[in-house]
Amino acid sequence: MHAYLITAKRSRWQRAGRRARVCTVRFAGALLMLVLAPLVLACRLARPIVNWIATGAAHLELWLSIRLNLPALGSLSGVALMREFVREFNNAFNPTTTNGRKSER
């Protein structure tokens, strides 16, 4: 004798309920994708435009600083920010001990 798994066949209402649930989830997913698609497209289109505007502004600032014989303020603040980032990175990479000396690794 072979062992058989006896299962009850789903009723018509159970099959219809499952089909409705699956269709509802798929419809909600498709609706969410349709709502998110324009937002993603706008973000992807805005990035090159913002990069182009930033590059143009940097060139304009450089041209004005050369023309007026003044330092470029954007580059000065960029250098100061870079120095701070480097200092923070070095502090995080070489942490000090509780007595104030550098830890040895």
Q: What is the mean pLDDT of each run of 10 residues along the chain (105 residues)?
A: 74 92 96 95 92 89 89 78 87 70 57
Amino acid 11: pLDDT: 87
Residues in the chain: 105
Sign for the pseudo-dihedral over CA of 25, 27, 29, 32: negative
Task: Compute the half-sphere exposure of residue 74: CA atoms within 13 Å on the CB side of its CA.
Answer: 12
Which amino acid type is present at position 18?
R
Amino acid 41: pLDDT: 93
Amino acid 104: pLDDT: 57
| b (16+ CB within 10 A) / e for 63-100 | eebeeeeeeeeeeeeeeeeeeeeeeeeeeeeeeeeeee
Amino acid 91: pLDDT: 84
Q: Tell me the domain boundaries of the chain.
A: 12-70, 71-105
Amino acid 71: pLDDT: 82
Amino acid 100: pLDDT: 60
